[in-house]
Amino acid sequence: AAGVIQSPRHLIKEKRETATLKCYPIPRHDTVYWYQQGPGQDPQFLISFYEKMQSDKGSIPDRFSAQQFSDYHSELNMSSLELGDSALYFCASSPRLAGEYNEQFFGPGTRLTVL
């Protein structure tokens, strides 16, 4: 079965640089979520999109922005990178099922290292 695709899988950047992470949801999933997981930490929700509109917002820094495109893929843009941004970034997707629990399907993650 198709899964969530994230690219790149690994990324190394220097402080103050920018980075763009991409997420391709499971086909027919219209909702995308972004999470950040620092070393030894639990996943922290950043932001979500439904039908290309921002739906929910978590602890996303102002230096980060994201969007969802017409083909439902999403990009997380990170600027002025800091050492503390080094983390695993997960994207998840879910279908919108009225009255049902929408299980979130997570991708393999992008490991970002800021030097």
Partner 1 sequence: LAKTTQPISMDSYEGQEVNITCSHNNIATNDYITWYQQFPSQGPRFIIQGYKTKVTNEVASLFIPADRKSSTLSLPRVSLSDTAVYYCLVGDRTTGGGADGLTFGKGTHLIIQP
Residues near partner 1, by CB under 8 A: 4, 31, 33, 35, 42-50, 55-56, 58, 88, 90, 92, 94, 96-97, 99-109, 111
In the complex with partner 1, the residue whose CB is nearer, 14 or 42, is: 42
Of the two residues 20 and 54, which places its CB atom closer to partner 1 in the complex?
A: 54
Q: How far apart are CA 75 and CA 80, in angstroms?
A: 17
Answer positive or negative: Cα dihedral of 23, 57, 67, 100.
positive
Q: Which residues pair with 21 in a beta bridge?
A: 76
Distance CA 52, CA 45 (A): 18
Task: Output the smallest distance, CB 100 to partner 1, in A.
Answer: 7
Least Cβ distance, residue 16 to partner 1 (angstroms): 27
